[in-house]
Amino acid sequence: MITKWEGIPRNEIPWNPTVDDSKCTGCRKCFEFCSHKVYEFDEKANKSIVTRPLECVVGCSSCKGLCEAEAISFPPLSILADMVKARSIKPSTPA
């Protein structure tokens, strides 16, 4: 498990896929593709579910491109840049 990214604890980074149940066709592509086991497949519902969101590699959205039904979404990449920038700003100290 990745515990930090760019010095930021992984559990503070809102980066993981969301599956829109109404669009998911049950093709399993995301489930079969993700080697980090972010997804499980619900046989009863015939849908992929995000069960381990913190296992998602920060910045990766490859599974989204595989989803022909466009059922997978991610936050905008800009949130990652904003987080790094916010961590890089050092508070000024009085002279």
Residue ranges and CATH numbers for the domains of the chain are: 4-87 (3.30.70.20)
Question: Average pLDDT over the chain, rounded to whole?
Answer: 92
User: What single letter denotes the amino acid at residue 48?
Assistant: S
Three-state DSSP class for 54? helix
| Alpha-carbon torsion (25, 50, 40, 5), positive or negative | positive
Q: Tokens 């079969």, residue? A: 32
pTM: 0.86
Lowest average pLDDT, out of 60-64, 79-83, 89-93, goes to 89-93
pLDDT above 80 for 76 = yes
pLDDT above 80 for 41 = yes
